[in-house]
A and B are shown apart, each in its own frame.
Chain A
Amino acid sequence: MKPDSRFNTLVKSTKDVNFTLFGEVVTAPKGSTLAAAILSHSGDAFRQTETGALRSAFCMMGVCFECLVEVNGNPNTQSCMILVEDKMVVKRQVGLRQIGICEND
């Protein structure tokens, strides 16, 4: 099941960024939150919980922690609280996160 976006884009943007979303290269307006960019491209789940339940963005304001995705290798990132950036690589957060990469100083 790969449902289409549940939203229409009514406002045309002047600047776009390109990023990789769930394996596909897509564009989004510069200044958009990542969650909004995802929602405008896909109606599919953002993540799976520990038990495999499908979840997607819910509150869009940083309260619910449902819009978690992996951004440039960083797991459990709230996509509604960050802006899209060029060359971002976004993957679904599937289940619990792994222990993580070392932060470079």
Chain B
Amino acid sequence: MTNYDIIIIGAGPAGMSAASVAAYAGLDVLLLDEQPDVGGKVYRNVKQNDSKQNWFGSDYSSGMHLVNAINCNRITKYFRATVWRVEKNKRVIWSHNGESKISTASNIVLATGAQERPFPFPGWTLPGVMTVGSAQILMKSSGIFPKEAVLVGSGPLLYLVATQMIDANCPPKALIETQTLRMMMNSLIHLPLALLNMKSLIKGFMFIHKIKSAGVPRYKSVSSLEARLNNKGLIEFLFSHKGIKKSLKTKLLLIHQGVIPSTEISRSVGIDHSWNTSQLSFQPIIDKWGKTNIDGIYIAGDCAGINGSASASLYGKLAAIKILYNTEKINFYVYKMQSLSIRINLFFINSIRLFLDTLYAVPEEVLFPSDDTTVCRCEEITVGQIKLGLNEGIRGVRQLKTSIRSGMGLCQGRMCDAIVRSIMLHNTSQEHTTILAPKTRSPIKPITLGEMSKIKKD
């Protein structure tokens, strides 16, 4: 058993910021991440890619300063370290090289980031269909680029990756967008506030401009999505555009419908969650410092609600500042002045959020897919099978899981919980406040019996 002042789970922008602020003010930090290196998703492999390519933009390379900041001997870092249990008394159980370890701290910061929102449609489970985020990871960490790809869906990441591909000379074959005119109209009311984050707005326009200049065909307002695999291993993607059925063949289909917070750990430890109606996801209930209803456990970054990496970094700092003030490592003046400037910054950065959430809203076809769509990928359960359960009177997510087995596979509900919930809300007359966040339990990632059996309990 090892002891620290703070354990930080996740070494993305939020985690790295929190770690560096805490360590420089004198606290001992344990920083854990299940990926092979720092960076989270946004700054993945930023170290390794430092000198080489300009394909990923200046935002990406700015991650280097954070990476350098955590090279401090008060920060003990472990990678390929999977946290599988967090307890209210701030004990963390984590797996590294096949061995589980127990660490304790006076404070914990959860900075587990986000995952892609599941985007089901018939055929989304086929080989050759991957997420847009996965392609970005491959480009950043393995230097491999799609030979030919069609991008489908909605959201800023769709355009970002499209431009990264264009810059690397493998432009997308087409951009097939589910965004409708209605969504654009609905978002206008949030545009005035969004103007406070002019930098991001301009960046967004430039991405779209680049995509247009590169001559990438765009199809907007599409529906009736379906993917098929032909006998040559190519994906045939079918969609409806302006009332006409179209189809495109491609080697790789990259899909995206925004991101949602990763709340497996926060739910497992008993933190309360609420439903965010504009982001259509659960998020932990925290105060303005990231403090939860559990003493000593804080949450920072996108795992508390989607606001992007710049925000995440600042929230990481806030959590660390609060902890430093509580432990008397910084005085009241520093505490107030530092946090004030951060909050001003956050106000401007976050002002674009509601605009983006509405502009890139999730289409109904994704929230309530057709009956033949696989929803639970692990257990191969379709929307139709779930509806059958609902017709038998099942009204709770826990009951649905135990009856139908959706969510009982290896991914532990990560790929299906979100859509099962929207199907349930749509098909039964329940308010979103009656269906609570699904409970998660440790191990929040699968662990072998052998590894579990060897843990020394004292």
Contact = CB atoms under 8 A, between A and B. Distances in A.
B134 A3 contact: no
Contact of B450 (A53, A60, A103): A103
A53 B380 CA distance: 9
Given A58-B131, A63-B411, A9 B125 contact: no
B410 A40 contact: no
B144 A64 contact: no
Given A33-B141, A61-B133, A64-B415, A44 B233 contact: yes
A40 B128 contact: no
A56 B141 CA distance: 19
B138 A60 contact: yes
A80 to B, nearest CB: 8
A32 B128 contact: no
A25 interface: no
Nearest to A56: B127
A64 B144 CA distance: 21
B378 A61 contact: no
B19 interface: no
Given A29-B142, A53-B125, A55-B125, A43 B133 contact: no
Contacts of B48: 31
Contacts of A60: 130-131, 133-134, 137-138
A37 B138 CA distance: 10
Interface in A57-105: 57-66, 68, 76, 81-83, 103
Max count, chain A CB within 10 A of own CB: residue among B35, B129, B233 = B233
A76 B35 CA distance: 18
Contacts of A55: 125, 127, 377
Interface in B71-114: 80
A49 to B, nearest CB: 6
A6 B141 contact: no
Contacts of A83: 36
Interface residues of A, number: 47
Nearest to A7: B144
A49 B125 CA distance: 11
Contact of B410 (A11, A61, A76): A76
Contacts of B414: 63-64
Contacts of B232: 1, 3
B377 A64 contact: yes
A9 B410 CA distance: 31
A86 B170 CA distance: 31
A6 B128 contact: yes
Interface string B251-264: 11000000000100
A36 B141 contact: yes
Contacts of B35: 61-62, 81
A6 B251 contact: yes
B231 A1 contact: yes
A57 B138 CA distance: 11
B134 A57 contact: yes
A104 B115 CA distance: 35
Contacts of B5: none
Given A44-B127, A51-B380, A58-B129, A10 B143 contact: yes
Interface in B119-136: 125-131, 133-134
9 nearest A-B residue pairs (beta carbon)? A3-B233, A11-B143, A56-B127, A60-B134, A36-B142, A65-B410, A7-B144, A65-B411, A6-B251
Interface of B: 34-36, 41, 48, 52-53, 80, 115-116, 125-131, 133-134, 137-138, 141-149, 168, 170, 229, 231-234, 251-252, 262, 377-378, 380, 409-411, 414-415, 445, 448, 450
